Amino acid sequence: MTPVPRTWGLRFWLITVAAVAAILVTASLGRWQLSRAAQKQELQSLLDQRAALPPIDNQQLRGHAGEADGVQDLIHRAVLLQGRWVPEHTVYLDNRQMQGRPGFFVLTPLRLEGSDAVVLVQRGWVPRNFQDRQQLPLVQTAPGVVQLAGRIAPPPSRLYEFQGADSSQGSSRIRQNLDLTAFRTETGLALMNLSVLQAGPASEGLQRDWPVIGAGVDKHYGYAFQWFGLSGLIAILYVWFQLVRRFLRPRPRPLA
């Protein structure tokens, strides 16, 4: 008796093509995530180098900010500035969170000592009074010349804003977002195209538990692991169900 040969039908080849395509796609996505991780690693190294540099003072800040690409080169650099608060232009950005609690980010312009240049300072976070949503929390603002330690940051990030919302009006202290160009026109201040994130422990009624600076390298490594794991799982399932089980399955006896 001659054993019956196993056939490789259309269903087998369709499954094979689909499995190979899925393995290639998931493996490519894993490699892409690794390339993104390498880019983020370079960015993290740059951020670490900037954070290790000596703090920038008033004169250095004005000099760098006046250059064409100076602002981007300053992001995340430490600063040690002297100036006077401009408290009449303090703004409270609504719906900001710190440690999972909703409240305000308090922003106050700081006029640098010895010049007309002004930098917008993200001073910290305060909780909101939900019993009276228009009540401004108490924030202490020292008069005279103050010394400020912090780091350079982009202007505050924007949140989604409903059209016609009261908090978006330029005349309101409480706002959803703050456009630096419009704020410069509104106040008449010589605001730089950057902001300063004030550092230090809680003070003046403000908390400053800012997120740690990071480029998110670990996230991309995690995604890459998931894609490569899925690619390997598809390969294992294909080999088991389409090859191993096919040859382990008892062969039917041929008819006499």
pLDDT, one tens digit per residue, over 218-250 is 889 999 999 999 999 999 999 998 888 877 766
pLDDT band for position 121 (cuts 50, 70, 90): very high
Band (4; pLDDT cuts 50, 70, 90): very low
Coil vs helix vs strand at 108: strand
Task: Give the tokens for residue 206.
Answer: 């403000």
Q: What is the pLDDT of residue 249?
A: 67
Instruction: Show me where the domains of the chain are located.
Output: 10-44+217-248, 77-198
Residue 81 near residue 119, CB atoms below 8 Å? yes
Question: What average pLDDT does range 6-30 have in this prediction?
Answer: 89
Q: Tell me phi and psi for residue 21, to 5 degrees.
A: -65, -45
Residue 18 predicted with pLDDT over 90: yes
pTM above 0.85, yes or no: no
Work out the mean pLDDT of the chain and round it to a whole number: 85
Instruction: Check the CA dihedral 202-203-204-205 and report its sign.
Output: positive
Instruction: Tell me which residue has tokens 């740059």.
Output: 46
